[in-house]
Amino acid sequence: MAAAKYRSPRMRFLNGHDFCHYVGLGTVQNPDEIGPALREAIDIGYRHIDCAALHKNEKEIGDVLREKTTIGTGTIDRDDFFITSKIWGTNLHPDKTKESLDNTLADLGLEYLDLLLIQVPFGLKESDEHFPKEEDGTFCLSDVDYVDTWKKLESFVDEGSVRYIGVSNFNCEQLQRLLDTPGLRYRPVCNQVEVSPYYVNEKLIQYCQRRDTPVVAYAPLGAPARPWVQKGDPVLLEEDIVKQIGKMHQRTPAQVVLRWGVQRGYAVIPKSSNPKRLADNLHIFDFSLTAKNMEDIAALNKSQKAYGFEGARKSKNYPFNEPTHIEEGGAAIM
Write the CATH number for 200. Answer: 3.20.20.100
User: Looking at the domain assignment, is residue 318 inside a domain?
Assistant: no
Burial class (CB in 10 A: 0-12, 13-18, 19+), 25: buried
Residue 145 Ramachandran class (φ > 0 left, ψ -120 to 50 alpha, else beta): beta
Most distant CA pair in the chain, distance = 54
CA–CA separation, 330 vs 260, rounded Å?
A: 9
- Whether the per-residue pLDDT at 152 is higher than 70: the answer is yes
Q: How many domains does the chain have?
A: 1
Do residues 265 and 30 make contact, with C-beta atoms less than 8 angstroms apart?
A: no
Q: How many residues in total does the chain contain?
A: 334
Per-residue model confidence as pLDDT tens digits over 279-299: 999 999 999 999 999 999 999
User: Looking at the domain assignment, is residue 5 inside a domain?
Assistant: no
User: Looking at the domain assignment, is residue 141 inside a domain?
Assistant: yes
Question: In the prediction, which pLDDT does 334 show?
Answer: 27
Most confidently predicted of 4-13, 57-66, 70-79: 57-66
User: Looking at the domain assignment, is residue 327 inside a domain?
Assistant: no
**Mean of the per-residue pLDDT values of the chain:** 91
What band does 5 get if pLDDT is binned at 50, 70 and 90? Answer: low
Question: In the prediction, which pLDDT does 59 show?
Answer: 98
Instruction: Tell me the average pLDDT across 40-66.
Output: 97
Alpha-helical segments (H) within the chain: 31-44, 58-68, 94-108, 146-159, 172-179, 202-210, 240-249, 253-263, 275-282, 291-298
- Whether the per-residue pLDDT at 328 is higher than 70: the answer is no
Nearest to 107 by CA among 176, 60, 50: 60
User: Looking at the domain assignment, is residue 216 inside a domain?
Assistant: yes
Instruction: Tell me the average pLDDT across 156-167.
Output: 97
Per-residue model confidence as pLDDT tens digits over 185-216: 999 999 999 999 999 999 999 999 999 899 99
CA–CA separation, 27 vs 39, rounded Å?
A: 12
CA–CA separation, 157 vs 161, rounded Å?
A: 6
Per-residue model confidence as pLDDT tens digits over 72-128: 888 999 999 999 999 999 999 999 999 999 999 999 999 999 999 999 999 999 998
Domain of 82 in residue numbering reads as 10-312
Per-residue model confidence as pLDDT tens digits over 163-193: 999 999 999 999 999 999 999 999 999 999 9
- Whether the per-residue pLDDT at 331 is higher than 50: the answer is no
Of 326 and 110, more confident: 110
Question: β-strands 191-194, 215-218: how paired?
Answer: parallel
